[in-house]
Structures are given as structure tokens and as C-alpha cells.
């Protein structure tokens, strides 16, 4: 059969989970509509799934990619704006906006190399721009420059990173990517488009000659240079996301989890907003409270602390507005109130974590210059007070930390170096470096928390430099089990996670939705659609499954 319309550009990918259904996206040259079509390669039948009109500007380029088990669509318009969508291929096909990038005018074509997830955009007379095609990617770009200034018209990519380019004013096909080659044609041509595919040892090239109206085809030996295999990163997905913070920029930072002992499903997430104060969220992501207490950076919670009014759950945050410890009380029903601001002698407070030593609340707070201070809390009728009881230093800037109360051990991240451990029952002992950054774990080391599975302890740390999370087996000589990322949850329309600052984990069951606890992470680039930063909630069951597979 045929799909009859005035098609200007088209691209295709196999539908996830299918070996015989192809998803095709095409631009209607007359209307600028985007047609979404399937082709059953067993029967040769086309089926129109959806048509999406353009808004205020004509579409000019279109390409598809496959990321994990989802299809993505890119399309630029006459304004030079590239829109990135998730292509939902359920019962009703639709496009979910992920992000937009201003890529400039005079663009003729785009393609994506799926293995490296590189978005290629052809600019007439200039070259091929390279962008990250990842939904969480930065908008930075590099240029494959064509010094002769050809009228580049079309680019086609292979999964392995090779791509092919044609120009209307040159009768040849360029091969780029792994190597630079040219395939001259025997006759003068005005090449309007190119496509490429590989099957086994054969490379198939196709091109359209606008002058003659001919479709050209060639088969070549597939002699691609050997490349190292790209490791597939283990991927989890978020189950819930919180309301975004109020302002764009580097705002959301560190979460804490408050466990409601009376009603675990009503537990809370506390999240710092470095531009405003402390936010409180339900496990459904709804913002319940927002306390305007200043530029709080990191926050941590401890339970049932003795006060004159009885046992009290307490949160403490590092406050960069006043170089203080911000103290909050949490009621049995989950209401958070600001109790006090307690001074420190640090000049630029940063990360923070709490611990309980001999039944007394202690807070460890650090400075960007590497200093750590330990404060012991007391509570009187006049309110909380904190006394400086020790001080030590890491070689360079720290941030995230966590205390193992049961074993009285402090774990600390040094952003550019790795993870340190300090025995709290030996106050004069020096910190010991137990893990370093490297190929799998990339600086900065940011947030961290301890997850318990079947009586074994695991330290989870954010590897900000590659937007991953590292898991260390604390009871197996701090062995690195592996890393994972948080990708798109297409079913729930929740984007992935990038450039995480803080995180928190708990293995305590939080009702039927989170029977194996919860992991909460800050999302440094909140998209689908683009919005201020927020926090993502991941079921502890997913973290537990990762650990079981890796240990």
C-alpha cells in the first residue's frame, strides 16, 4: 500500500517491543502537519495513527530516536526552535513536550545516532551541529565544519555514530563520524535527501536527485571501523515527582524523608529551596507547606529527641543566608514549624547531616573551604541550643554526608575526590578515604544516604558528573556494586533525572505504594515540560532489585 501525501521529510524506527511494526513520522509539505504512521512490514500496510498541526511556525526538520524503550521525536521550525517530544505509542498516539532549544535558522535536516544519543542538525553552508539528544541533556553544541560551504540539504545517521550528508550543489555523499570519506557520483546531481541503513555486512545508501526526480540506491560493504561497545547503564524510573520550586535556576537541592510512625503512607518529603526556604511535600508530590526561612542548603531529620515538652521529631538545615543551623519541629501529624536559628562559626555553610550519639542530637555541618563542625544540641524551656564539640577538615570542598547511628560512623562526600569515613566514637581519629571518583563515578560527589536490605547496609551517593547514582556495599569493604541512572517514566509522564545534588533513602515501608522504602533525589534539569527544579521519588523496591542483581 501507499501513504499518499505531500511528504517533505520523514524518519522511522521500529516500535519498542515489535519486530514487524515501524513507526514513521513525516512532515506534510503543504500544511506543515506532522503525520504519525505505522508500517507493518509483514503486510506492507500503512496505518495513520495521528496528525499533529503546526502551531505558529512551519516545521522544517524532523527526526526520530530511540532512548531506552521509548521513542523520541525532534522537529525544528521556521523560528529556529527545536522541539523535543516523547512519542507515546499507546492506544492513542500523542506527543508529550520534553524540552525546547533555540538552534538557529537555515536548518535543512536532522538525524540521531541512537547509540551515543547525538542529535545532528544540518545547517546550510556551515556544517553539522552536534547536540545531546538525551532528554536530560545540556543545550551545548559542537560543529562538524564543512569549509567549502556546501548547501547541505540532508543528514542520515547510523546507530554506531556514522552519518552521511548530501548537498544540492555537490554530486557526492559525505561519510562522517568515525571517519571522513566522500562517495562521488558519476553524473551531475542535485541531491535533496539521503538515507542509510546497515544489515549485516551490507551498507545501504539511498538518495533523491531533485533535478531528475530519481531515487538513487547503492549497496556497499559495511566496513565500519571497530568501536568499543557502549556500556548500557542500568536504568530506574521515578514513580512520583514533586511540585517544582517557585523560581528557575539552581534552587532545589537536598531532600529529607520524615517517616510518619502512626501512618506511614502520610510520611513526608522535606526539600530545600536555596532561593527561599524549606518545602514540605506529600508522598504524592503535592506541596503542603513552604517555610520562608532563607537560603537553606541541606536538611536532615532525627526522631524522638528529648525536649522539655516531650519527645520531638526534629529537622535541621544549613542556612547560607545567616551561616546558621535552622531548626524545625515536626509534629506527630506532620506539621513543620520553624523553631530557631543557631549560630555557627563557619563563614560559608554548605552541607549538613544529623546523628544521635548517646541519645543526644548532633549535627555535622561543613563549609565550602573543607571544614567540618560538630554541634551537640540541648533543649530547654527557652528553646534549642547547639554547642560546638569538635572540628576537623577534608582536603577540599565537601557537601553531602550521612551518619550511621547504629554503628556511629560518619560518611562524607568530598565533591572532587570521593567518599570519606570517620569513626564518631573515636573523636580524635582522622577521616579515612574509602571510595574515589573514576570512570564510573564522576565528580561532583553530592548527596548520600544509607539503605538497608536484608540486614546489609548500602551507601547510595549521587554521581553528579554523569547524572548517575553509585551504590557501595558498606558491609563488604565498601565495595562499589555499580551505578544506575533515573530515566523517563513514559507511563506516568515523569522525566528522568540529571545533575543531582542531594538525595535521601529509607528502607522503612511507607505504605502500599512504597513497601520497600523510598529514594528521593533532586532533579537538576526538570523537563517534560521544562519547569523549575523539583524532586523525584523512586520506589525502594527498584533500588532493592538493583542491589540484588549487583551484589
Give the CATH number of the domain where residue 344 resides: 2.120.10.30
Give the residue from 173, 189, 221 where a domain finishes.
Answer: 221
Query: Looking at the structure, do residues 28 and 98 belong to the same domain, yes or no?
Result: yes
Predicted local distance difference test score (pLDDT) of residue 5: 66
Pair (103, 238) in one structural domain = no
Question: Are residue 252 and residue 310 in the same domain, yes or no?
Answer: yes
Contacts for 289 with CB less than 8 Å, ≥ 6 apart: 279, 280, 335, 336
At which of 177, 196, 221 does a domain end?
Answer: 221
List the one residue out of 509, 543, 541, 527 whose CA is nearest residue 257: 509
Residue 210 near residue 190 (C-beta atoms within 8 A):
yes
pLDDT of 55 reads 85
pLDDT at 8: 81
Query: Do 238 and 149 share a structural domain?
Result: no
Answer yes or no: is 15 within a domain. Answer: yes
Domain C-terminal end among 195, 221, 247? 221
- Examine the domain organization and report whether 319 and 206 are in the same domain: no
Q: Identify whether 229 is part of a domain.
A: no
Which domain range does residue 58 map to?
Answer: 7-221
Task: List pLDDT tens digits, range 460-478.
Answer: 999 999 999 999 999 999 9
Whether 373 is in a domain gets the answer yes
Residues 6+ apart with CB under 8 A from 263: none
Whether residue 206 is found in the same domain as residue 284: no
pLDDT at 448: 97
For residue 460, which of 385, 512, 518, 381 has the smallest C-alpha distance? 518
Residue 510 lies in a domain: yes
Number of domains, the chain:
2
**Would you state the pLDDT for residue 223?**
80
- Could you tell me how many residues make up the chain? 551
- pLDDT 10s digits, 244-261: 999 999 999 999 999 999
Given this model, what pLDDT does residue 183 score? Answer: 87
Do residues 252 and 148 both lie within one domain?
Answer: no
Q: Is the same domain home to 210 and 242? A: no
- Whether residue 473 sits in one domain with residue 387: yes
The verdict on 253 and 397 lying in the same domain is yes
CA dist., res. 46 & res. 63, Å (int): 19
Residue 93 forms beta bridges with which residues?
Answer: 89
User: Which neighbouring-strand residues pair with 386?
Assistant: 377
85 within 8 A of 530, measured Cβ to Cβ: no
Whether 525 and 532 have beta carbons less than 8 Å apart is answered as no
Alpha-carbon 76 to chain mean position: 23
**82 within a domain of the structure (yes/no):** yes
Tell me the pLDDT of the chain (551 aa) as tens digits. 666 667 889 999 999 989 999 999 999 989 999 999 999 999 999 999 999 999 889 999 999 999 888 999 999 999 999 999 999 998 999 999 999 999 998 899 999 999 999 999 999 999 999 999 999 988 899 999 999 999 999 999 999 999 999 999 999 999 999 889 998 987 789 999 999 999 889 999 999 999 898 999 999 898 876 655 566 899 999 999 999 999 999 999 999 999 999 999 999 999 999 999 999 999 999 999 999 999 999 999 999 999 999 999 999 999 999 999 999 999 999 999 999 999 999 999 999 999 999 999 999 999 999 999 999 999 999 999 999 999 999 999 999 999 999 999 999 999 999 999 999 999 889 999 999 999 899 999 999 999 999 999 999 999 999 999 999 999 999 999 999 999 999 999 999 999 999 999 999 999 999 999 999 999 999 999 999 999 999 999 999 999 999 99
Q: Is 212 part of any domain?
A: yes
Torsion of CA 27, 32, 33, 36, to 10 degrees: 10
Residue 228 lies in a domain: no
Co-location of 196 and 265 in the same domain? no
Give the C-alpha distances (Å, rounded to integers) separating 361 from 173, 254, 316, 409. Answer: 70, 20, 10, 14
Residues 294 and 212 both lie in one domain: no
- What pLDDT, on a 0 to 100 scale, did the predictor assign at position 139? 87
Residue 476 lies in a domain: yes
Q: What is the pLDDT of residue 298?
A: 98
Cβ density class 73-101: b for 16+ within 10 Å, e for less: bbbbbeebebbbbbbbbeeebebbebbbb
Amino acid at each position: 500500500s501507499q501513504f499518499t501525501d505531500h511528504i517533505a521529510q520523514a524518519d522511522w524506527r521500529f516500535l519498542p517491543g515489535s519486530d514487524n511494526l515501524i513507526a514513521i513520522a513525516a512532515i506534510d509539505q503543504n500544511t506543515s502537519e506532522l503525520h504519525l504512521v505505522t508500517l507493518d512490514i509483514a503486510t506492507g500496510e500503512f496505518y495513520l495513527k495521528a496528525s499533529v498541526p503546526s502551531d505558529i511556525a512551519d516545521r522544517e526538520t524532523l527526526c526520530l530516536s530511540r532512548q531506552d524503550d521509548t521513542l523520541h521525536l525532534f522537529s525544528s521550525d521556521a523560528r529556529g526552535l527545536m522541539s523535543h517530544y516523547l512519542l507515546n505509542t499507546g492506544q492513542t498516539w500523542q506527543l508529550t513536550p520534553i524540552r525546547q532549544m533555540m538552534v538557529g535558522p537555515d536548518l535543512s535536516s536532522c538525524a540521531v545516532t541512537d547509540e551515543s544519543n547525538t542529535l545532528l542538525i544540518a545547517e546550510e553552508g556551515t556544517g553539522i551541529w552536534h547536540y545531546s539528544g538525551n532528554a536530560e541533556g545540556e543545550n551545548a553544541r559542537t560543529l562538524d565544519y564543512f569549509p567549502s560551504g556546501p548547501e547541505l540539504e540532508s543528514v542520515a545517521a547510523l546507530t554506531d555514530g556514522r552519518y552521511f550528508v548530501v548537498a544540492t550543489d555537490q554530486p557526492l555523499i559525505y561519510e562522517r563520524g568515525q571517519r571522513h570519506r566522500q562517495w562521488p557520483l558519476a553524473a551531475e546531481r542535485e541531491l535533496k535527501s539521503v538515507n542509510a541503513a546497515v544489515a549485516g555486512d551490507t551498507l545501504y545508501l539511498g538518495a533523491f536527485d531533485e533535478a531528475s526526480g530519481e531515487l538513487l540506491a547503492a549497496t556497499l560493504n559495511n566496513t565500519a571501523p571497530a568501536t568499543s561497545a557502549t556500556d548500557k547503564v542500568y536504568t530506574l524510573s521515578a514513580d512520583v515527582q514533586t511540585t517544582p520550586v517557585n523560581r528557575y535556576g539552581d534552587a532545589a537541592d537536598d531532600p529529607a524523608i520524615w517517616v510518619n510512625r502512626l501512618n506511614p503512607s502520610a510520611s513526608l518529603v522535606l526539600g530545600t529551596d536555596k532561593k527561599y526556604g524549606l518545602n514540605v511535600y506529600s508522598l504524592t508530590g503535592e506541596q503542603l507547606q513552604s517555610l520562608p526561612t532563607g537560603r537553606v542548603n541541606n536538611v536532615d531529620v532525627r526522631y524522638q529527641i528529648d525536649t522539655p515538652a516531650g519527645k520531638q521529631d526534629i529537622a535541621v538545615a544549613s542556612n547560607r543566608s545567616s551561616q546558621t543551623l535552622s531548626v524545625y519541629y515536626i509534629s506527630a501529624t506532620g506539621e513543620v514549624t520553624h523553631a530557631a536559628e543557631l549560630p555557627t562559626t563557619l563563614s560559608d555553610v554548605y552541607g549538613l547531616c544529623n546523628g544521635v550519639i548517646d541519645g543526644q542530637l548532633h549535627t555535622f555541618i561543613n563549609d565550602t573551604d573543607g571544614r567540618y563542625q560538630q554541634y551537640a544540641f540541648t533543649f530547654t524551656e527557652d528553646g534549642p541550643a547547639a554547642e560546638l564539640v569538635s572540628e576537623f577538615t577534608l582536603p577540599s570542598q565537601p557537601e553531602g554526608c550521612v551518619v550511621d547511628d547504629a554503628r556511629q560512623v560518619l560518611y562524607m562526600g568530598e565533591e572532587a575526590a570521593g567518599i570519606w569515613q570517620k569513626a564518631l566514637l573515636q573523636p580524635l581519629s582522622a577521616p579515612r578515604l574509602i571510595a574515589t571518583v573514576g570512570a564510573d563515578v564522576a565528580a561532583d560527589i553530592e548527596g548520600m544516604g544509607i539503605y538497608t536490605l536484608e540486614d546489609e547496609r548500602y551507601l547510595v551517593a549521587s554521581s553528579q558528573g554523569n547524572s548517575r547514582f553509585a551504590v557501595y556495599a558498606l558491609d563488604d569493604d565498601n565495595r562499589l556494586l555499580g551505578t544506575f541512572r533515573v530515566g523517563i517514566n513514559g507511563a506516568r509522564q515523569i522525566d528522568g533525572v540529571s545533575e543531582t545534588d542531594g538525595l535521601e533513602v529509607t528502607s522503612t515501608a511507607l505504605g502500599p505504594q512504597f513497601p520497600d522504602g523510598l529514594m528521593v533525589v533532586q532533579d537538576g534539569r526538570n523537563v517534560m515540560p521544562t519547569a523549575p527544579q523539583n524532586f523525584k521519588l523512586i520506589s525502594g523496591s527498584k533500588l532493592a532489585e538493583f542491589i540484588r542483581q549487583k551484589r
